[in-house]
Amino acid sequence: MIIESELLVNEPLVSVVIPSYNRCDLVGKTINSILNQKCDFDFELIIGDDCSNDGVRDVLLEFQKEHPERIKLIFHEKNIGLGANWAYCVKSARGVYVANCDNDDYWHCEQKLQLQVDFLNSNSQVGVCHTFYRNYKNGKFIERKIDSSKLTEPLYAEIVNLKHFECCNSSILYRKEIIDKYVKLDDYILQQFAIQDWNTWVILAHYTEFYCLAVSTTTVFLDNDSITRNTDYSNLTKRLLKQEGTTKYMHNLFPDLITYSEESYLIYIKLVLLNLSMKKLDYRMAKTFSLELRQMNYTGERLNITENIFIFYMFCAIKRIRLFLSPR
């Protein structure tokens, strides 16, 4: 179901996309931070709700009623996944540029869109512009300044492994023409992709330049459990299994770049769960995941850490101290 008004802006330069799922308590702050943007051009806000169950649709309808010239709603009658939801929104976008904002993040810089549009207007070789950002955790803001000098060529190799490439999805501004040209959004919808950021970055990095503006624009909440920050073993496993289809798809697109096999992906899932158990200081589950990895003939130093409960807690403590002392 699509809800829009005849008053909706005719020729938006930017389409801001919010894939929505629950977050009734946070999405209002997200929307207001976008509506408060100060810019010399028109923009539209497209919110796709993926069959939420916490009453967030009532909030979205109220915002659309108050701002019919800005907001368009797409309500899905069944859950289709984050990637498919995002693709639906982008397909309906009319702007020259497409901006992302997750429904539990917000823009703390009121000039964000203006700064990014001005940059892309002056740099035609750049197709993706992102910015510095900050995390909010335990009542504190932690600034994240991205060192673009760490990026090496080819950029897509860095994005695949996410080793030297750091990017805040909610800070991105794309040229829509490059999405339309290189990203098969209908595939995202047909296969109901569970994610949309990493795979889109890998594809676009083959064809265009990325640039990070040295200005902090976006706040990411880390205190909340979310699709990409899941702290429940069962839910995290389900999410990773859903993402397997995206990995297969990307492997088929770039077989020399992205490796995939059912066995290696299952090992990847168990390693992610092992890492989560270490973050949670959950020795019992860490021991379980280590045993399962050994049964799959996987060998690695972290498996040895779970052999002794004292070594396990010492390792976790040292890792936390290093993380705390590392430069932000």
Residues 32 and 128 in one domain: yes
* Confidence label for 221 from pLDDT (cuts 50, 70 and 90): confident
CA-nearest of 164, 146, 168, 258 to 206 is 258
The two tokens of residue 128 are: 């993706």
* Alpha-carbon gap, residue 71 to 119, rounded angstroms: 25
| Domain membership of residue 39 as a residue range | 2-221
Could you give the number of structural domains in the chain?
2
Is 280 part of a structural domain of the chain?
yes
| Tens of pLDDT, residues 283-322 | 999 999 999 999 999 988 888 888 889 888 888 888 777 6
pLDDT of residue 286: 93
Is 127 part of a structural domain of the chain?
yes
SS (HEC) of 166-211? CCCHHHCEEEHHHHHHHCCHHHHHHCCCCCCHHHHHHHHHCCCEEE
Task: Quote the pTM value.
Answer: 0.87
CATH number at residue 213: 3.90.550.10
Burial class (CB in 10 A: 0-12, 13-18, 19+), 288: middle
Residues 33 and 119 in one domain: yes
**β-bridge mates for residue 143, sequence order:** 134
Is 273 part of a structural domain of the chain?
yes
Q: Among residues 221, 244, 273, which one ends one of the domains?
A: 221
DSSP label of 68: T
Which residue type is seen at 16? V
Residues 311 and 280 in one domain: yes
Burial class (CB in 10 A: 0-12, 13-18, 19+), 27: buried
